[in-house]
Chain A
Amino acid sequence: MKELLKYTLQLADNALILGHRISEWCGHGPVLEQDIALTNTALDHLGQARSFYQYAAEQFNALPVSEKEHFFTSSAIQSIIKDGKQVDEDDLAYLRDGWDFRNTLLVEQPNKDWAYTIIRSFFYDVFNFFFYTELQKSTDVTLSAIAEKSLKEVTYHLRWSSEWVIRLGDGTDESAQRINEAIANRWQFTGELLTMSEAEKAVATSGIGVDLEKIKTLWKERVAAVFAEANLDVPANGWMHQGGKEGKHSEHLGYILAELQFVQRAYPNMQW
């Protein structure tokens, strides 16, 4: 089913791109313990991305050739198909073009500073926690197994980012001002997390995917609860950006891919 493949890629891309952003902190954290914690979180996201890509590759390889040819625009992937070879996790991460990436706009936003990094993680972790909790019930055994395996990590991520939201909101004047600025600028990317794409709607009906309506309220309540503890106000709903899930990205994704894919693109068809 092509919708399942798109869905699996969306989950993989979210994990890969967020992990990539977080990994940019490695060696630059504000204190050694947090540097290590962030690197560990980046590793968790990368591990989840790999599980989803491996499953996506399996699905892609099972498609009839006629469908494979038009699935991605990348000529590098098309030449793999022409050679009668199978794609693997690395082909999907390193050889797809930007418009074939389905991650949400939130995760590709730059780190900027600790406050922006924390709030991006927090908004995403709250979503991810309820999302994986639901995905465990998926009728698709692979997706439910990945969700179950990842939930422990995601629970830890959520605890970590919630703690930091509270520390910054209820810390010093400067930290409160910085986290408020970060919230004001990143809030507009939260709507997309909970708005269902065509692929999401299709897989939700069949019991494979998560019905995001179910977690919308949970997300809002959790964000409100943590913000209350942090002395922070939840912004009014306002304008929400959409498009990442359909391959319409910000300028940032291009730079991420330029870095991430550089070696594979510059030296094609090699083992690393």
Chain B
Amino acid sequence: MTVHSFQEKFDEKIDREDTIEPRDWMPDDYRKTLIRQISQHAHSEIVGMLPEGNWITRAPSLRRKAVLLAKVQDEGGHGLYLYSAAETLGITRDEMLEQLHSGKAKYSSIFNYPTTTWADMGAIGWLVDGAAIMNQVPLCRTSYGPYARAMVRVCKEESFHQRQGFEIMLTLAKGTEEQKKMAQDALDRWWWPSIMMFGPPDAESPNSESSMRWRIKRFSNDELRQKFIDVTVEQTKILGLTLPDKDLKWNEARGHYDYGAINWEEFWNVVKGNGPCNKERLETRRKAWEEGAWVREAALANAKKRAERKNKEASAA
């Protein structure tokens, strides 16, 4: 077969909404785009463990501590599924981590903001996991099989995280004046970064036609952002809190909420590395990796010794 006929077969599969599997032929661009997207997603999961991990030792009740530990553990698990999915495309986890540590690979900018109070555990679960769900649900039907299957598992857990986050916010919002202030402060700080999670406006990011065609993307950034805002405004009413956007208004004609101008300068600035915690997050990941080097070496050396001993015993027998 010629490359041309490989391409035709691939296109047919995409058109039939069949999944592409690791052994199938795929265009180079498809492979590269997926590696970039899945590894970025995996990095976001593990860097995302840090802002929330920051409150595990200080969680205000034993039940909240258990739920938070379980949540952060889930995020590690998501990282694991996603690294494995990316590995099926012919890149190793070590290579991906090297790209993260060198700053070549990106991760979600939202994790470059600090978690300064307990309420941030509520705001992150509710808003950040909430926005992640909006972005990720369509990926459960993405064309690449291992990615789609990983996303099905991830999405189930994310919706649990979102409920837990909302419950923290609700408890604070119904609590004392100080707790309400904590909740409002967290909402004020996390709202704009959360809606930036959907990426630049459509006008500035013409959806790559191929990503749409490959079902790596199904909705535009602005479509998803609007959907998230519409849902979240209603949830904020239940909390009795105020979203920090004075231009937020129901638009009868559109059937959606209008919202104020997003500060894209801030967004690009954080992407470039100038967010409040970019350096800290990356340094923490690098430090964990470097300080773990001797541990990984020991595990490898021991496994090798055991295998050699087993071989010796087998040949002696």
Residues of A within 8 A of B (CB): 20, 23-24, 26-36, 39-40, 42-43, 46-47, 49-50, 53, 89-90, 93-94, 113-114, 166-168, 170-172, 174-175, 178, 259-260, 262-264, 267, 270-272
Contact = CB atoms under 8 A, between A and B. Distances in A.
Given A28-B288, A31-B292, A263-B118, A42 B301 contact: no
Given A46-B62, A270-B175, A24 B57 contact: yes
Task: State the main secondary structure of chain B at its contact with A.
Answer: helix
B276 to A, nearest CB: 18
Interface in B147-193: 171-172, 175-176, 178-179
Contacts of B289: 30
Contacts of B297: 171-172, 174-175
A44 to B, nearest CB: 10
B282 interface: no
23 contacts: A26-B69, A27-B284, A29-B288, A30-B291, A30-B293, A30-B295, A33-B80, A39-B73, A50-B66, A90-B61, A113-B291, A114-B294, A114-B295, A168-B298, A168-B302, A172-B298, A174-B298, A175-B298, A263-B58, A263-B118, A271-B171, A272-B64, A272-B171
B72 A178 contact: no
Nearest to B300: A171
A174 B294 CA distance: 7
A32 B57 contact: no
Given A39-B69, A43-B70, A267 B288 contact: no
Contacts of A46: 62, 65-66, 69
Task: State the main secondary structure of chain A at its contact with B.
Answer: helix
Contacts of A34: 295
Contacts of B59: 263
A267 B49 CA distance: 26
Contacts of A53: 62
A138 B114 CA distance: 48
Contacts of A174: 294, 297-298
B56 interface: yes
B66 A47 contact: yes
* From A36, A94, A174, residue with most partner B Cβ within 10 Å: A36
Contacts of A42: 69
B138 interface: no
Given A26-B72, A39-B73, A49 B302 contact: no
Contacts of B294: 114, 172, 174-175, 178
A167 B299 CA distance: 6
Given A23-B57, A264-B60, A264-B61, 18 more contacts: A26-B49, A27-B49, A27-B76, A28-B287, A30-B293, A33-B80, A35-B76, A39-B69, A42-B69, A50-B63, A89-B62, A93-B62, A167-B299, A172-B301, A175-B294, A267-B176, A272-B64, A272-B171
* From A23, A27, A42, A166, residue with most partner B Cβ within 10 Å: A27
Interface string B36-52: 00000000001001100
Given A43-B73, A114-B292, A170-B305, A27 B62 contact: no
B295 A31 contact: yes
A171 B302 CA distance: 4
Contacts of B171: 271-272
Contact of A23 (B50, B56, B61, B62): B56
Contact of A29 (B50, B62, B69, B292): B292
B176 A23 contact: no
A264 B293 CA distance: 38
B296 interface: yes
Nearest to A272: B60
Contacts of A264: 60-61
B62 A50 contact: yes
B299 to A, nearest CB: 5
Contacts of B293: 30
Nearest to B178: A267
* From A26, A29, A166, A259, residue with most partner B Cβ within 10 Å: A26
B66 A270 contact: no
Contact of A270 (B80, B176, B301, B302): B176
* From B46, B76, B291, residue with most partner A Cβ within 10 Å: B76
Given A175-B297, A272-B118, A27 B179 contact: no
B146 interface: no
B280 to A, nearest CB: 12
B267 interface: no
B228 to A, nearest CB: 26
